[in-house]
Amino acid sequence: MEIVLDECAGFCFGVRRAVDTVYEQLEKGKTIYTYGSVVHNEVVVQELAKRGVKVLEDKASLLALPPGKGEEKAAVVIRAHGVPEEIYGILEQKGLECVDATCPFVKRIHRIVREQSAQGKHIVIVGNPGHPEVEGILGMCRGPATVVEEPGEAENFVPEEGDSLFVVSQTTFNYNKFHYIVEIFQEKGYNVSVVNTICSATKERQQSARALAARADVMIVIGGKHSSNTRKLYEICRGECANTYFIQTLDDLHLELPKAVRLVGITAGASTPNKLIEEVQRHVRINF
Ligand code: SF4
Provide mean pLDDT across the span 166-186.
93
Q: Three-class SS of residue 87?
A: helix
C-alpha of 216 from chain center: 27
Distances (CA, A) of 100 to 8, 25, 80, 210: 25, 11, 8, 34
- Cα–Cα distance, 37 to 271 (Å, whole number): 11
Closest of 85, 58, 103 to residue 197, by C-alpha: 103
Residue 134 in this model has a pLDDT that exceeds 80: yes
Report the nearest-CA residue for atom 2 of ligand 1: 199
Q: Three-class SS of residue 30?
A: coil
Residue 69 in this model has a pLDDT that exceeds 70: no
**Is-contact 195 171, C-beta < 8 A?**
no
Which residue type sits at 100?
A: D
Provide mean pLDDT across the span 70-85.
86
Residue 110: which pLDDT band, with cuts at 50, 70 and 90?
very high
- Cα–Cα distance, 244 to 6 (Å, whole number): 14
Helix (H) or strand (E) holding 47: helix 42-50
Helix (H) or strand (E) holding 118: helix 104-118
The DSSP result for 50-82, as a single string, is: HTT-EEE-SHHHHHTSPPGGGGTTEEEEE-TT-
Residue 71 in this model has a pLDDT that exceeds 70: no
- Cα–Cα distance, 204 to 214 (Å, whole number): 15
C-alpha of 267 from chain center: 17
Residue 70 in this model has a pLDDT that exceeds 60: no
Residue 238 in this model has a pLDDT that exceeds 60: yes
Helix (H) or strand (E) holding 25: helix 13-27
Q: Three-class SS of residue 137?
A: helix
Task: Please state the atom number of ligand 1 nearest to the C-alpha of residue 15.
Answer: 6
Q: What is the pLDDT of residues 20-58, one digit of tens each?
A: 999 999 998 888 999 999 987 788 889 999 999 999 999
- Cα–Cα distance, 229 to 215 (Å, whole number): 21
Residue 281 in this model has a pLDDT that exceeds 60: yes
- Cα–Cα distance, 204 to 186 (Å, whole number): 28
Q: What is the pLDDT of residues 189-208, one digit of tens each?
A: 999 999 999 998 888 999 99
- Cα–Cα distance, 271 to 13 (Å, whole number): 10
- Cα–Cα distance, 165 to 31 (Å, whole number): 43
Ligand 1 centroid to Cα of residue 144, in Å, is 26
Indicate if 57 belongs to the active site: no
Pocket of ligand 1 (CB under 6 A): 12-15, 80, 103, 105-106, 171-172, 199, 201-202, 270
Average model confidence (pLDDT) for the chain? 92
- Cα–Cα distance, 191 to 267 (Å, whole number): 42
Candidates 133, 187, 278, 279; catalytic one: 133
Residue 169: which pLDDT band, with cuts at 50, 70 and 90?
very high
- Cα–Cα distance, 132 to 83 (Å, whole number): 7
